[in-house]
Structure 1
Amino acid sequence: MPDRSVPRAVSATWPTELGLRVVHLWLLKAVGTTLFMVLFFQAYFYVLQHPSRAPWVMPEIWLDRLVPFTPAAFPVYALLWVYVSLPPALIGNLRALLRFGAWVGLLCGSCLLVFWLWPTRVPDFGIDWSNYPGLSALKGIDASGNAWPSLHVATAVFSAWWLYRLLQQMGVPRGWHVVNAGVCVAITWSTLATLQHVALDALTGALVGAVFAWLSLTPADLRLSQRLQQRLAQSRST
């Protein structure tokens, strides 16, 4: 479960620690993240193309009317694939890296099972998507299926909580936490602004991501490996 201890004070050596974390096991992180995404998309599109029954249309609620259609939100929507790569990049020990991979795999697998058992899609918004090339390609591939819960939002929230704890462990300035939260909120907003999801999808996805983050985070897993601790201590003494 997440550490509820007092947040670590801002550290003068956090940039050094951040660099050490990034280069630690970098090849395993790069290959593992890439392989995970390839396997995920294969499973995702299989479920999308082979639903167990006809998709049910998700209803809109009052919150949907507060978020206008914004084609310019597409780059923010696509930012997720960079964002979810940040937590593994900053993990400083093998155990935590494997734990993160296992839990995010369980998160994605659970949502894919829901998508297959209870396929859903967003309403027909009556928009000529050919007027929006980027979104048109996305709609053609995704067909706005696998809507509930929003796995886009779930993985963003899951990553945000892991990043929060990793940044807290490093003792970064508060501004970094603000940016982290802002990116997560922006990605969530983009799922509604691009009409890829409705509010019920996003709200449920956020809940799923938060629950999986709460279950997966442990203080011991977030610490540096012994080798990195030694290297950080050496950098402080020079």
Structure 2
Amino acid sequence: MTALGFLYPGHAAEDDYPRMEQLLGSDVRLAVVHTDIGEDAHRVDALLEMGSAERLEAGVEELRLSGAEAVVWACTSGSFVRGWQGAHEQVRGLARSAGLPASSTSFAFAHAVQEIGATRVAIGATYPEDVAALFAAFLKEAGTEVVAVSASGVVTAAEVGTWEYDQVLALARDVDRPDAEAVLLPDTALHTVAHIPDLEKELGKPVLTANQVSVREALRLTDRRVNAPRLGALFTREPIVQA
């Protein structure tokens, strides 16, 4: 049994995690602990506070009691908003506090892009333009070329959590470009897990979504690989071996 822990801000699309647990099989358990979201706003100051050390540390003890072997801060905007170095410091602090290997959804995207062998991506963001631009800058720091960014301008995670498949598909279609080797949907408040195979079929390329890559990142931290075709290309491809 592999137990994976996730610190998830507030409530929006956390039901993606039990769905993924079912798709991964009986020997992987996903423990989700909700952190205090503070102000629900895709605004830089609110996002910095949402990912503060104090808010993350408040959920650590519950995760330890769950038996988690690794922890991921399952919030993309609450990590990349700190920039490349700041996001590293956030993860290091979380690892010290939890006494476990730790990462965040922002780094999960960077690693997932590398794993599928993509170098050029398009970003379909629910965020306002300034926040979406910060995610693009974060990926560029990771060595990924961003060929297109779409920003829907949604202010709250609560609203994003109500989006249905047609809206998710429209977001992905609108930002897709022929030269994009993958489409990224970076909000953990967005329900995507049930839609990944259909999205990839519609676009004809890998689609990486926030809750999906968060789980892949936690598996990476525990040196586990799981074949789960219903979770998309990220969970079916062999890892890329760097020369």
Work out which structure has the larger RCO, using CA pairs closer than 8 Å and 6 or more positions apart in sequence.
1
TM normalised by structure 1 equals 0.26
More helix as a share of residues? 1
More strand as a share of residues? 2
Larger of the two Rg values belongs to structure? 1
